[in-house]
Amino acid sequence: MNFELTDERQMLQDSLRRFLRDKYDTATRNAILESDTGLSTEIWAELAELGVISALFTQDQGGFGGRGFDIAVVFEELGRAGVVEPLLDTGILAGGLVADLGQDDKQELVEQVIAGTLQMAFAHGEPTSRYDLNRVKTTARKDGASIVLNGAKAVVVNAEAADLLVVSARESGAVDSEQGISLFLVPADAKGVSIQGYALLAGGRAAEVMLDNVIIPDTARLGKPGGAFAAIEARIATASVAQCAETLGAMETACALTRDYLGTRTQFGRLIGTFQALAHRMADLMIEMEQARSAVINAAGHLEAGRETRERYVSAAKNLIGRAGRLVAEDAIQMHGGIAMTQDYELAHIAKRIIMADHRFGDTDHHLERFIAITTR
């Protein structure tokens, strides 16, 4: 198997890396983190102009990428620079579901996402659902030509900045059934929608979203009634690969910062990187990095495979990235000392991103159990 990037992906990686190196430093990110929206509209527009959002969609959907390795290339660079803009939430999740399930009249929304003029959020997780994608209590009741939504959604990333929410709701079946779940497009300012936002530890913003007798037209449904679970699962798998790649990029930055620090900090008249104990720890981190990269390649390469194969590789990658990421983040901080916890130093943000990534889309324990369950069926 050839693991080298195609010419198109290499050009995408090079152009995105140059852009982020020039535009996205620690001071810029800290200013974005302190803003009310948790993102920079200027950076977002430039990423769209650069074609980064378009790379997340297939040609049939109006983009030029959309495959596992396209997504991995983009998000590894975003992770390396510590970008907090919600490309995963608007592009991969909400925008991706509209592209997957939306009828022809919804294609215009995908075009707006690719152009960078539309912000979206995926409201699926609920206060009691944890990592179970099939556990949906929010209800969708048909009332003539309208749908009435009631329920609560938890940790909806980018909800405050979103123009549209893609909301999951149950039209039939038990609360934990895979059947009966539908997706609906809901304007963020619709009557009955309340959004309580807060900052996330790893950057960006999320919100608790309440739906109180929200009335939308029946045409706001994406796909067939009650048949959205397969699309949700596939999109979460894609988002998991994206986050694994993003975490890999962050781990690379953490290792690079640590290596540079060991090569400049002196103690007892010597560079601390020459001390055998620290050199061995750095070598261990580089070995973990190679394993993490292999896991991301495996997951990205099997993203278009059948459901069972896809989910097995996604769980394997999430488990390994979670374990390796925690080791890299903790050792990088320990080898830096106190400076690593300073907000004005790059590693402080990067380490938080690595650690918190394990808690989205399923942590290491969840995916270990899931991997075992899939392989022993």
> What are the residue ranges spanned by the domains of the chain?
7-118, 121-225, 230-375
The helix (H) or strand (E) run that includes residue 120 is strand 120-123
Residues 84 and 39 sit within 8 Å (Cβ to Cβ): yes
Residue indicated by tokens 């990088």: 332
Q: Which of 184, 188, 8, 162 is nearest to 91 (CA)?
A: 162
Residue 363: CB partners within 8 Å, gap ≥ 6?
Answer: 131, 322
269 burial level (CB within 10 Å; 0-12, 13-18, 19+): exposed
pLDDT at 3: 67
Helices 276-301 and 307-336: crossing angle in degrees, nearest 10, is 160
Fill in the DSSP letter of residue 303. T
Structural class in CATH, domain 7-118:
mainly alpha
Residues 281 and 335 sit within 8 Å (Cβ to Cβ): yes
CATH hierarchy code of domain 121-225: 2.40.110.10
pLDDT at 1: 55
The pair of structure tokens assigned to 343 is: 């907000």
* pTM confidence score: 0.95
Residue indicated by tokens 């660079």: 77
Q: Encode burial over 180-189: b for 16+ CB neighbours within 10 A, e otherwise.
A: bbbbbbbebe
pLDDT at 204: 92
CA–CA separation, 161 and 52 (whole Å): 19
User: Which amino acid, residue 312?
Assistant: R
**Per this entry, what is the length of the chain?**
377
Intervals of the chain under pLDDT 50: none
CATH architecture label of 230-375: Up-down Bundle (1.20)
Residues 166 and 185 sit within 8 Å (Cβ to Cβ): yes
Using CA atoms, how far residue 254 sits from 33, 330, 348, 354, in Å, is: 20, 10, 9, 9
pLDDT at 369: 95
Give the number of other CB atoms < 10 A from CB of residue 105: 8
